[in-house]
Amino acid sequence: MANPQRENGHIDIANEIAEKLARTQLSGTEHRILWAVWRKTWGWHKKEDRISLSQLVKMTELDRRSLRRTLKGLIEKNIVIKNFGRDKIALGSINFLRFNKDYETWKGRDKIAPRVKNAPKSGVKNAHHKRKERNSSKKILKKEFFELVNLLIEKMLENDPKANVP
């Protein structure tokens, strides 16, 4: 059972930022990258840190290409800021990343998640319908599998009536 304790480390996020992010339309991948950046920076009481793509891949379990594309989008939206630092050549592809807490400078910030009173039910029906189809095909495969096993057992008993059959 997981038992995280605040004393073992935590990330302080201002309520104002949390409220703004709750209304900002970001993808799940963007949220995962933000949490990783927060963990590597604010989680260690730093404003920015050198974070390699491989570190982000390990933390988020995203594939490298998707992570790079999504991180580039967060940088273009000015939600994450990338700095090269003083030793641009020595550091290679490892950049300094930080979360931009000045949400008024975020680009595309007017893309606020719409308020929806009732979620459309059509998407739920389609997802449920697909799940039913998948389950029925599993049942068919199981049935065919057991029929083949029974046929094999019959053939084994025809060849050797004293065979141990499970």
Please check whether residues 18 and 40 belong to one and the same domain: yes
Kindly state whether residue 2 falls inside one of the protein's structural domains: no
Give the CA distances from residue 44 to residues 16, 34, 109, 117, 128, in Å, rounded to whole numbers and listed in that order: 21, 15, 28, 39, 43
Kindly state whether residue 1 falls inside one of the protein's structural domains: no
pLDDT-based confidence at residue 122 (cuts at 50, 70, 90): very low
Question: With contact defined as beta carbons under 8 Å apart, do 89 and 83 qualify?
Answer: no
Contacts for 89-94: CB closer than 8 Å, 24+ residues apart: 91/50, 93/52, 93/53, 94/50, 94/51, 94/52
Please check whether residues 80 and 136 belong to one and the same domain: no
pLDDT single digits (tens) 43-97: 888 898 899 889 999 999 999 999 999 999 999 999 999 987 655 554 455 679 9
Share of the chain above pLDDT 90, in %: 30
Q: Which domain holds residue 141?
A: 118-166
Predicted TM-score of the model (pTM): 0.59
Mean pLDDT of the chain: 78
CB neighbour list of residue 94: distance below 8 Å, 6 or more residues apart: 50, 51, 52
Strand order across the beta sheet in which 49-51 lies: 49-51, 95-99, 80-83
pLDDT given at position 111: 52
SS3 33: helix
pLDDT given at position 69: 93
Kindly state whether residue 7 falls inside one of the protein's structural domains: no
Kindly state whether residue 88 falls inside one of the protein's structural domains: yes
Please check whether residues 97 and 122 belong to one and the same domain: no
Greater model confidence, 132 or 97: 97
Kindly state whether residue 113 falls inside one of the protein's structural domains: no
Structurally, the chain folds into a number of domains equal to: 2
pLDDT given at position 137: 64
Question: With contact defined as beta carbons under 8 Å apart, do 111 and 24 qualify?
Answer: yes
Please check whether residues 96 and 122 belong to one and the same domain: no
Q: What is the CATH number of the domain that holds 79?
A: 1.10.10.10
Kindly state whether residue 156 falls inside one of the protein's structural domains: yes
Q: Of the ranges 51-60, 121-130, 144-153, which one carries the lowest mean pLDDT score?
A: 121-130
Please check whether residues 75 and 137 belong to one and the same domain: no
